[in-house]
């Protein structure tokens, strides 16, 4: 006879006892809550606490956070909102301070306008001197008119909006000191009567004029040299004044380098 042998049954790990199902929950009862580990749907859960009101509150808070993952607790939400409100308030105060600092800047003077924001009149030329009128200490002034809708302080210190017809400031221009010595007359005397010393007598050098008269212009060599020097405006009147030359004619501008001009910084309007 053969003995009936029963095969060994596989060992089943210990499982928590299943809670009795409640027919009131529907045909699909809620899955049992584990005491630790991961939940298949809601992520990690807190370890089970002993039964009592504290554990019930903790379970309710966890379930509420799991049901609404995008929201924060009420306390953290209030703190975050307060922090955002303080940041916005600080930004508003910073913007107001910047606007106040910009508004407290002194108004611009009309003589500080840039090129293109004003237009100056042409100087009035004196026919006898060929220099701008009211030339004093090598300086004359012309009136300048700011462009329309430009706001600045005029020469009287009054701030106003200009329409393009009011004088905003007076611009200084350079002029020369003349004392009646004509450039054309000096060149003509040096060319035709230089061998007699007439050019030196006219410019206020009587000693050299007499010497040229006695030597017939140093045999013509001195007359030629004086003609070149006077034509190039190197030799001028003896009193240090300038020749009377047409204002819009060919003038010689002497450039000198001194300690002041060499160290002066270049300025742009």
Would you state the pLDDT for residue 206?
94
Average pLDDT, integer, range 217-233: 93
Summarised one tens digit per residue, pLDDT across range 12-40 is 555 555 555 444 444 455 555 554 444 44
| CA distance linking residue 128 with residue 57, whole number of Å | 109
Where is mean pLDDT largest: 56-65, 75-84, 126-135? Answer: 126-135
> Is 60 a residue whose pLDDT tops 60?
no
Report residue 209's pLDDT band, with 50, 70 and 90 as the boundaries.
very high
Give 125's strand partners.
Answer: 132
Of 185, 174, 209, 180, nearest to 195 by C-alpha is: 209
Between 263 and 227, the higher pLDDT residue: 227
Would you state the pLDDT for residue 32?
52
| CA distance linking residue 177 with residue 138, whole number of Å | 6
Summarised one tens digit per residue, pLDDT across range 82-98 is 888 888 888 887 877 76
Three-point CA angle 88, 92, 98, nearest 5°:
145
Report residue 77's pLDDT band, with 50, 70 and 90 as the boundaries.
low
* H or E segment to which residue 230 belongs: helix 221-231
Of 165, 163, 140, 161, nearest to 151 by C-alpha is: 161
Average pLDDT, rounded, for the chain? 76
Summarised one tens digit per residue, pLDDT across range 142-173 is 999 999 999 999 988 899 999 999 999 999 99
DSSP string, 16-44: PPPPPP-GGG-SSPPPPPPSSSEETTTEE
Average pLDDT, integer, range 198-226: 94
Would you state the pLDDT for residue 25?
46
């Amino acid at each position: 006879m053969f003995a009936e042998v029963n095969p060994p049954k596989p060992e089943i790990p210990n499982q928590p006892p299943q809670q009795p199902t409640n027919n009131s929950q529907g045909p699909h009862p809620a899955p049992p809550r584990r005491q630790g580990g991961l939940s298949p749907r809601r992520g990690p859960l807190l370890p089970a606490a002993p039964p009592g009101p504290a554990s019930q509150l903790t379970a309710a808070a966890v379930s509420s956070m799991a049901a609404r993952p995008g929201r924060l607790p009420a306390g953290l939400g209030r703190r975050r909102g307060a922090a955002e409100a303080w940041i916005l308030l600080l930004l508003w105060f910073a913007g107001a301070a910047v606007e106040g600092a910009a508004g407290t800047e002194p108004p611009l003077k009309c003589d500080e306008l840039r090129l293109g924001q004003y237009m100056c009149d042409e100087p009035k030329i004196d026919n006898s001197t060929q220099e701008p009128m009211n030339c004093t200490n090598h300086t004359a002034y012309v009136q300048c008119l700011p462009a329309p809708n430009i706001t600045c302080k005029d020469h009287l210190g009054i701030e106003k909006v200009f329409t393009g017809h009011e004088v905003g400031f007076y611009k200084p221009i350079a002029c020369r000191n003349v004392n009646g010595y004509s450039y054309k007359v000096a060149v003509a005397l040096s060319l035709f009567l230089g061998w007699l010393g007439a050019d030196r007598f006219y410019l206020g050098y009587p000693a050299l004029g007499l010497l040229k008269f006695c030597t017939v212009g140093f045999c013509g060599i001195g007359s030629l040299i004086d003609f070149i020097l006077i034509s190039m405006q190197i030799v001028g009147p003896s009193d240090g004044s300038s020749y009377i030359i047409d204002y819009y004619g060919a003038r010689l501008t002497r450039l000198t380098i001194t300690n002041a001009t060499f160290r002066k910084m270049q300025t742009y309007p």
